[in-house]
Structure 1
Amino acid sequence: MKKTFLIAALLLFANSITFAQDDLKAVRATLTDYMEGTSKGQIARIKRAFTPNAALYSVNPDGTEKRLPIATYIGYFKEGQARDRKGKIISVDIVNDAAHAKVEIISGNTRFTDYMLLLKLKDGWKIINKSYTRENIN
């Protein structure tokens, strides 16, 4: 009886590791769609990464909240028009169907630090909100 329980527990543990690895791979793919879509002017990839109701949040120079709907943000990019943007994933944390990630984007002399909130929806992992800050790097 104990052997059967131990084997079942080990199989369950191995299965959960596989699901966790699959989720991590899927979250990273969503973040890559965002980073490469914005750097290569691939509008479909940007749209695939975000939910239609997503928004971007930052701080205005006067210290107030700035909210930018995702449709407005996507409108800043032109299909096929590459930009000087290099992105990398700094960290990802996943619990069940929710995740957050930290992404760094270098564009010219500016470093953007993005904090993404993601949910695992019926059509996969999607970014539901992004908050970000920027700093000059010389």
Structure 2
Amino acid sequence: MKTLLLTAILFWAMLLSKAQNSKKMENNQQDLIAITEVLEKYYFKGIYEGDVNKLKQALYPGTLLFGDVKGEPYAKTLDQYLYGVQQRQSPKDSGKLFKGRIISINIVNSIAIARVQVKMYDFNYTDLLSFHKLDNRWFIVNKMFTDIAN
């Protein structure tokens, strides 16, 4: 009788564990889709079109941006960055090459890191974007980038 009871308990524990893992994988897939949408619909399009309203959908208020452009240090607040985007000619209007590509996305609970490549004007950027899930939405909360020689 003890063996039968122990077997039943182990069986139910195994089923419960599989159900929880399945739910976690399902949530992870949904989060991956949501982050991909933020990148493609708001981040890449916002940069390409010079649309700060789209960028604001991707970037959390207070986001900081750090990196280097042609070897020169770059550090801006979100407001400074958005002002620069507004003032420059957008890649779309310039007629020059633009390509945004997702290299990888790593998710751990409510945080994630996306590595993306952005080719625009004469630049080839690698961006490391920190995401946080807030109020059930994924936002970029930090952007680090560097210009890679072509």
Q: Give the TM interval when normalised to the shorter protein.
A: 0.7 to 0.9
In structure 1, which of residues 17, 20, 30 is the aligned counterpart of residue 28 of structure 2? 20
CA displacement at 1:61 relative to structure 2? 6.9
1:3/1:60 Cα in 2 relative to 1: closer, same or farther (>3 Å)?
closer
User: 1:87, 1:106 within 8 Å by CA — same for their partners in 2?
Assistant: yes
Change (3 A) 1:60 1:111: closer
Q: 1:62 to 1:132 in 2, by over 3 A?
A: closer
The letter for the 1-side match of 2:19 is: L
Give 1:94 shift.
0.8
C-alpha separation in 1, matches of 2:70 and 2:120? 20
SS at structure 2 position matched to 1:130? strand
Give percent identity, aligned residues only: 25
1:103 to 116, 120, 126: 116
1:36 and 2:45 matched: yes
Residue equivalent to 1:69: 77
Q: Return the offset for 1:123.
A: 4.8
Q: How many residues were matched structurally?
A: 135
Does the 8 Å contact 1:109/1:136 carry over to 2? Answer: no
Q: Which has the larger radius of gyration?
A: 2
The one of 75, 79, 104 equivalent to 1:91 is: 104
Is the 2:128–2:144 contact (alpha carbons within 8 Å) kept by the matching residues of 1? yes
Q: Is the 8 A contact 1:43 1:77 kept in 2?
A: yes
2:54 maps to what in 1?
45
1:97 alignment partner AA:
S
Whole-angstrom distance in 2 between the partners of 1:60 and 1:46:
20
Q: Which has the higher helix share?
A: 2
Distance 2:28 2:76 in 1: 32
Flag structure 1 segments of 5+ consecutive residues without an equivalent. Answer: none
RMSD over equivalenced CA pairs, Å: 2.2
Q: In structure 1, how many angstroms separate the alpha carbons of the residues matched to 2:71 and 2:120?
A: 24
Q: Deviations over 1:61-88 (max 9, x none)?
A: 786x53111112112234xx74142100
